[in-house]
């Protein structure tokens, strides 16, 4: 009898131990989890980083922002901007990033990331797999009829947010950030599966006078001479088409806002390192400044008489 009791105890112990070693089992997702996952996938399908940021868990956004700002401040204290340029482009200053909300910070960061999702008409959720505080929803997305009949496997990681569930930053994004920080990839590389742009023609020699314009305009801004910048280096065409009140507003913004002035200076420094494309019989030089962290994608200068001016 005593031997049987010991055997039963040992058997019960091993049953409990085996149960403890079995991972948490997947279960069906609840309606709040489904809504959170579907809202995130729909936001990704729009291609809008702002829409995606709205659907990410606020704690995840704050954690991402804090982690990267620690890195950028550390390198800034050493007089470097390598990581900032890789992540955001040289056009965004550290002070601009520090003042950005977590959502705007992510939207700026997303310009150098690739996150894609198809448009789906409905979802068939198969399981909710717990992993600590995160729950991974796994299912199939059914495309609109005109997009085809293939059901695509989808997965979204979620964390609870009050009575809601919000998406975590996808691990694919975390991996891309790590690639950018370590310099393993070019931020300007096209997404996998897309056709790379055709190689452009060999850059033409820089026209005489352009380099001098850029250097002098930068010097005026660096000295805080915004009136000189708009009066001497902006195109006569620009000044003729700009009202006095609008011009005064531009000069005041340049004079009183250090971030505005710094953006202009950074632009001039960037284009000094880029080859322009000429049109209008060589009287206009157009610089592609996309993917540089600037609030615009091109910078144009034009020649009037024998001088070059900033056109826009």
* Number of structural domains the chain divides into: 2
Range of 278's domain? 210-310
Q: How far apart are CA 30 and CA 128, in angstroms?
A: 8
For the residues 278-296, what does the mean pLDDT come to? Answer: 88
Task: Give the per-residue pLDDT at 66.
Answer: 95
Helix/strand/coil for 164: strand
Regarding whether 218 and 263 lie in a shared domain, the answer is yes
pLDDT at 11 over 90: no
Regarding whether 177 and 260 lie in a shared domain, the answer is no
Helix/strand/coil for 175: helix
Q: How far apart are CA 116 and CA 185, in angstroms?
A: 18
For the residues 74-100, what does the mean pLDDT come to? Answer: 89
Regarding whether 245 and 181 lie in a shared domain, the answer is no
Longest dimension (CA), the chain: 112
The residue count of the chain comes to 312
Regarding whether 221 and 179 lie in a shared domain, the answer is no
Task: Give the per-residue pLDDT at 199.
Answer: 44
Task: Give the per-residue pLDDT at 197.
Answer: 43
105 Cβ contact list (under 8 Å, min separation 6): 61, 64, 65, 68, 97
Q: How far apart are CA 144 and CA 39, in angstroms?
A: 17
Regarding whether 236 and 159 lie in a shared domain, the answer is no
For the residues 241-269, what does the mean pLDDT come to? Answer: 90
195-253: per-residue pLDDT in tens?
A: 444 444 556 778 899 999 999 999 999 999 999 999 999 999 888 888 889 989 999 99
- Position 63 in a domain: yes
CA separation (Å) from 284 to 242, 276, 288, 302? 19, 9, 13, 4
Task: Give the per-residue pLDDT at 201.
Answer: 52
- Position 10 in a domain: no
Regarding whether 228 and 159 lie in a shared domain, the answer is no
Domain-ending residue, one of 186, 202, 218 = 186
Regarding whether 154 and 220 lie in a shared domain, the answer is no
- Position 5 in a domain: no
115-170: per-residue pLDDT in tens?
A: 888 999 999 999 999 999 999 999 999 999 998 889 999 999 999 999 999 999 99
* Segment of 5-14, 57-66, 88-97, 296-305 carrying the highest mean pLDDT: 57-66
pLDDT classification of 15: cutoffs 50, 70, 90: very low
- Position 173 in a domain: yes
Regarding whether 123 and 42 lie in a shared domain, the answer is yes
**Would you list the DSSP string of 20-71?**
HHSPPPPB---HHHHHHHHHHHHHHHHT-HHHHHHHB-HHHHHHHHHHHHHH
Task: Give the per-residue pLDDT at 26.
Answer: 58
- Position 222 in a domain: yes
Q: Within 10 Å of residue 49's Cβ, how many Cβ atoms?
A: 20
Q: How far apart are CA 289 and CA 267, in angstroms?
A: 8
Please report how the helices 58-76 and 102-109 are oriented relative to each other, as an axis angle in degrees rounded to 10: 70
- Position 34 in a domain: yes
pLDDT at 5 over 80: no
Task: Give the per-residue pLDDT at 193.
Answer: 40
Regarding whether 63 and 128 lie in a shared domain, the answer is yes
Regarding whether 162 and 254 lie in a shared domain, the answer is no
35-50: per-residue pLDDT in tens?
A: 999 999 999 999 999 9
Q: Which residue shows structure tokens 């599966």? A: 193
Instruction: Say which range, 17-21, 128-132, 241-245, 257-261, has the weakest mean pLDDT.
Output: 17-21
**Would you list the DSSP string of 250-302?**
HHHHHHH-HHHHHHHHHHHHHHTTS--EEETTTTEEEEE-TTSS-SSSEEEEE
For the residues 167-174, what does the mean pLDDT come to? Answer: 94
Regarding whether 100 and 246 lie in a shared domain, the answer is no
- Position 201 in a domain: no
């Amino acid at each position: 009898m005593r031997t049987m009791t010991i055997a039963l105890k040992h058997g019960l112990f091993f049953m409990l131990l085996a149960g403890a070693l079995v991972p948490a089992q997947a279960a069906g997702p609840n309606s709040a989890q489904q809504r959170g996952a579907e809202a995130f996938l729909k936001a990704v399908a729009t291609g809008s980083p702002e829409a995606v940021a709205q659907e990410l868990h606020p704690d995840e956004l704050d954690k991402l922002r804090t982690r990267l700002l620690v890195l950028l401040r550390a390198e800034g204290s050493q007089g470097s901007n390598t990581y900032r340029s890789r992540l955001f482009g040289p056009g965004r200053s550290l002070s601009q990033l520090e003042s950005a909300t977590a959502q705007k910070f992510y939207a700026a960061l997303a310009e150098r990331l690739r996150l894609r999702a198809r448009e789906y008409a409905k979802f068939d959720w198969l399981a909710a797999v717990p992993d600590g505080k995160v729950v991974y929803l796994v299912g199939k997305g059914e495309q609109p009829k005109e997009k085809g009949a293939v059901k695509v496997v989808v997965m979204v990681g979620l964390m609870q947010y009050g009575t809601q569930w919000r998406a975590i930053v996808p691990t694919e994004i975390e991996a891309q950030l790590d690639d950018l920080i370590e310099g393993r990839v070019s931020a300007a590389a096209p997404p996998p599966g897309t056709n790379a742009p055709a190689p452009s023609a060999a850059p033409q020699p820089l026209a005489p006078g352009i380099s001098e314009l850029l250097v002098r305009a930068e010097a005026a801004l660096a000295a805080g001479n915004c009136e000189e910048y708009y009066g001497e280096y902006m195109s006569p065409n620009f000044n003729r088409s700009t009202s006095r009140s609008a011009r005064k507003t531009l000069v005041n913004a340049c004079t009183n806002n250090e971030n505005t002035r710094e953006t202009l200076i950074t632009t001039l420094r960037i284009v000094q390192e880029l080859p322009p494309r000429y049109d209008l019989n060589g009287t206009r030089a157009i610089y592609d400044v996309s993917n540089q962290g600037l609030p615009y994608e091109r910078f144009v200068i034009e020649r009037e008489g024998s001088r070059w001016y900033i056109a826009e």
